[in-house]
Amino acid sequence: MRITDLLDVRSISLTGAPKSKKEALDAIIELMAKSGKINDVEGYRKQVYAREEESTTGIGEGIAIPHGKCDAVTRPGLAAMVVKDGVEFESLDGEPVTLMFLIAAPNTKDNVHLDVLSKLSMMLMDEEFTASLRGASSPEEFLEIIDKADEEKKSVDERLADMGEAQADQVKILAVTSCPTGIAHTYMAAEGIEKAAKAKNCFVKVETRGSGGAKNVLTDKEIAEADCIIVAADAQVPMERFDGKKVIERQVSDGINKADELIALAISGDVPVYHSANASAKPAAQGKSSGGVGHQLYTQLMNGVSHMLPFVVGGGILIAIAFLIDGLLVDMNALSAAERANFGTITPVAALFKNIGGVAFGFMLPVLAGFIAMAIGDRPALAVGFVGGMMAASGSSGFLGALVAGFAAGYIIIGLRKVCDKLPQAIEKIAPVLIYPVVGILVIGLLMTFVVEPIMGGINTAMNNGLTSMGGSSKIILGLILGGMMAIDMGGPFNKAAYVFGTAAIAAGNYDIMAAVMIGGMTPPCAIALATLLFKNKFTKEERESGPTNFIMGLAFITEGAIPFAAADPLHVLPACIIGSGVAGALSMAFGCTLMAPHGGIFVVPVMGNALMYLLALVIGTVVSAVLLGVLKKKVE
């Protein structure tokens, strides 16, 4: 698509003579309406004025780019007006406006027109180009000037990617530009900053975050090597990655009108160092500059874990409160075995807490998978990862299945992107809104349904059969195995097989097996909480802060509290947890402990047999796992 495809000759006026900003806006809106692309002129007018109230679109240098994106627009379009004598427009530089472009964008996810409009916005930063437009003698010549420049200029993607390589003696400047609409100002600011930086012989790379998504995204290596970072944005920009760097934060309009000032400030070095209040949420190993495959996998994994953690903590604590309420208000010994199975939902208040906590827990694995996928394949991968994570949560594969789903979803999108790059441009442009979600979700759904879930389900069945055949073996060995199984996948096939075996034993009147199962599930969160206190240098700041809440979740038999830690470092955390849980399960059996309820952890003490020894077994298992975590985990740099 070319710029002139959006600009109807009927929507061009070279003789505009408005006396005020309102007259100018009304006149150019009428020009837009003549193109037939507006189905509700008044509705569109309201949107244009609403945008103008946020901040002026008079960007300076005699140019104004008002715009409106709403349902009143049928098709994307442009209108243009030259005002020979100029009109007061409340411009950023206080000068009258002599050249106006009005943008109409439909309120759809179709981004075909955005690159075109963005390119025009960048072209308007060229003084020679705008002077030619002001001097055009007819609408046809006006169109010819635009078409010729459109032909000669590179696309937005090509312009952004053509930043060259940094020389040793150059000041290295990075920038991020973004505006709420993401059509014009984002790209004009990028153009302004680039021109100003090159005029001072600086290396510059600009990341744009417009309606078409983030482009030319800054890498960890580039951020680490940058002398200064300029953030010219009126919309939210991910800032955690800039923690510890010199950062200039300004409005997006400063990137357009005060680019020279920003570059001079960046060169001077007299810039405050940015400290993120949420710095620990960024990948903890970002300080490592290896950039290798292992580092990339880790940062992708941590992106999922850091987003999942609030759901685990919030949901887990609420569920623990539900158990506490039932523990205080219900006489467990007066309940039948079937009624004990409802522990945590017996009283209405407890049921309310458990329901809310359960909803939060329901998001846990989809969020984990979704944000791992997003770290790999950017925003298009998010939905694909969510679906894969939800299938893991509702199926039998648990958090290990969600990990598989997250990475698979990210690389599915990368694969689709490579395929779509070879398609005609018109089809390629609809890939983010049509091909990626439809094909991506279909592929992850098929992968989870026919590969991941059957494998995990087969493991679950084999585990059930294996446990059944062990019914007559040593109880201590059985406790060791059941306890360890509870910690292997924390909700996956091993965990479920052990738990189902324990609940079946209660129905058969064997209460020692459930005791070993529950203590195996209580140990991992308790051990992680203890380890975050004993071995602070083995955990990130965020892990240390959230770690103690695992005591509550562990005591309440909410094994899921350990999942963020296991997901972040499975090779070291899982072995430590499995061994400690196995020890606790074996000791529970050796001490002759029994449990007549399948839920509740410490809150069902009244129905525990040999409760004091049960607590001793839990303490020993917790200490064993915590010490192993301190030994096995590497220091966090």
Q: Count how many Cα atoms sit within 13 Å of the Cα of residue 533 in the half-sphere of its side chain.
A: 11
Residue 558 in 3-state DSSP? coil
- Of the residues 67, 113, 185, 572, only one is catalytic, namely 67
Say which residue the tokens 């052990």 belong to: 498
Cα angle 352, 356, 362; round to 5? 140
Identify whether the C-beta of residue 617 lies closer than 8 Å to the C-beta of residue 588: yes
Tokens of 424: 């005609």
Q: How far, in Å, CA of 500 to CA of 205, rounded?
A: 56
Count of CB atoms within 10 A of residue 306's CB? 23
Q: Which residues, listed in sequence order, are joined to residue 595 by a DSSP beta bridge?
A: 608
Q: Please state whether 234 falls in left (phi above 0), alpha (psi between -120 and 50) or beta.
A: alpha
C-alpha span between 531 and 526 (Å, rounded): 9
What is the number of alpha carbons within 13 Å of residue 341 lying toward its C-beta? 10
Neighbours of 395 (CB within 10 A): 18
User: Rounded to 5, what percent of the chain is helix, strand, coil?
Assistant: 65, 10, 25
- Give the CA radius of gyration of the chain: 31
Q: Does residue 67 carry a catalytic annotation?
A: yes
Contact 577, 586 (CB under 8 A): no
Across 435-451, b (16+ Cβ under 10 Å) vs e yields: bbbebbbebbeebbeee
Out of 70, 113, 179, 572, the active site residue is 179
No. of helices (H) and no. of strands (E), the chain? 26, 13
Is 70 designated active site?
Answer: no
User: Are 89 and 19 spatial neighbours (Cβ–Cβ below 8 Å)?
Assistant: no
Alpha carbon distance 21, 35 (integer Å) = 22
Alpha-carbon distance of 384 to 439, in angstroms, equals 9
DSSP per-residue letters across 469-486:
HTTTS-HHHHHHHHHHHH
The most distant pair of C-alpha atoms in the chain lies apart, rounded to whole Å, by 98
Please name which of 91, 86, 94, 88 lies closest in space to residue 134, comparing C-alpha atoms.
Answer: 86
Strands 247-250 and 228-233, sheet pairing = parallel
Give Cα separations from 486 to 423, 491, 499, 614 (angstroms). Answer: 49, 8, 7, 17
Strand pairing class (172-178; 97-106): unpaired
Closest CA to 521 of 621, 604, 608: 621
Nearest to 253 by CA among 115, 61, 111: 61
b/e 458-480 (16+ beta carbons within 10 angstroms → b): ebbeebbeebeeeeeeebeebbb
Q: Which residues are catalytic?
A: 67, 179
